[in-house]
Structure 1
């Protein structure tokens, strides 16, 4: 789990940039549509409730949300999406998992392969890196919203695996099966949640120490996340704070 808080914060900043460009609306709409296949009532459909929370977090317009739900329930005609995962390597031997919801696998794999090859990575065979990651629930809370003791008590008593404090963000880690129970307990305790999502967390990370490799890896991550063909990207790298500050500058 080393380095995951830093990775989450990188993704958090990146997510804010995506929201400004509006790209995230398309991605969240796909998640809502997929989730709504199992019913349009979020009280009876945890996956839909989670997708709607994500939509609220990025200020997605209600009209967009309702259209996505109706496409999923079949009330209006829509595209049929299929979940696909791609695996590969970034420069420096960094493992990469790419999750997609697509209506055309040939188009999507061509786009993903092009992004990898253009930025020094390589698309691999199915199973080549997936074993390096575990599916976890990640709940983030701004440290201004609650004390560390309160977050620790509620999270751990409701079944969380760990709570970390990194750069002003409490990160609550849960097993996938305990995610909804922990999230509900945090909400019931009156603690405001910033984000609550499932994530593929690397069991171990690879430290990147040189600026060139770090820049290449982050450029590949950004290009994949910028693609309309991609929902989520996960990597097993760690970059120390000093190097990240140089890259940010």
Structure 2
């Protein structure tokens, strides 16, 4: 299983605790706000906003929260002005790491991100140093329970998806960014429950991490980054063998 899929699985397992701390809602509200600021408050004409709303609904965010976030983005309500910054670097084992952030204090954010990399034995790099190792894709996760794989495959591909990948407890659907909304639409109209949907950076290939110490340090780095209030998403191209992943879990 690739780093993208494995880290998504890990995040979903710890998601219940994050939700209690309000971290998931905070990150989703930021994304909705900046999407509305950049592309307007109508999700039909703003694919990024539509993606953010879909992700918020998958986490059972109340409608009022979503509407307030949109209004803050469009300027109809007062809100914090966030700046988007992408950080790139290498984690333990030479794993490429992309860190998407939204911050109102970039000096604080870069200091914290650099600290996490250094603490793990990795290093924060220059802009562009690892971004070329990833492709931007629409990723949609669907719960496996009660879903026929062949029917899902036919529906998704017909709607414009590139691939459907079977995972332990879910199906991961990959799309080109421009086809993302149409595939989400087709799934929703067919009554299929979407667990998570977003535009993500998917690694072109992976780096295998087999040493327990490096694997543990890498996962700690990713967790520290994910838990930071200014970090929206973390992408990495690692591949840890399932047996080692079980030990670390």
Distance change (3 Å), C-alpha of 1:114 and 1:4: closer
Give the structure 2 partner of residue 30 of structure 1. 30
- Structure 1 stretches (4+) deviating beyond 6 angstroms? none
Q: Is the 8 A contact 1:39 1:73 kept in 2?
A: yes
For 2:34 and 2:146, the matched residues in 1 are separated by 32
For 1:23 and 1:4, the matched residues in 2 are separated by 20
Alignment of 1:74-223 (within 5 A): 74-223=75-224
Distance change (3 Å), C-alpha of 1:229 and 1:216: same
TM-score by length of 2: 0.93
Q: Is the 8 A contact 1:5 1:164 kept in 2?
A: no
For 2:172 and 2:223, the matched residues in 1 are separated by 22
Q: Is the 8 A contact 1:145 1:192 kept in 2?
A: no
Between 1:182-191 and 1:222-231, the stretch displaced more is 182-191
Q: Is the 8 A contact 2:2 2:238 kept in 1?
A: no
SS of the aligned residue for 1:194 comes to strand
For 1:220 and 1:6, the matched residues in 2 are separated by 15
State the shift of 1:69 in Å. 1.6
TM-score by length of 1: 0.93
For 1:183 and 1:156, the matched residues in 2 are separated by 12
Aligned residues: 248
State the shift of 1:95 in Å. 0.5
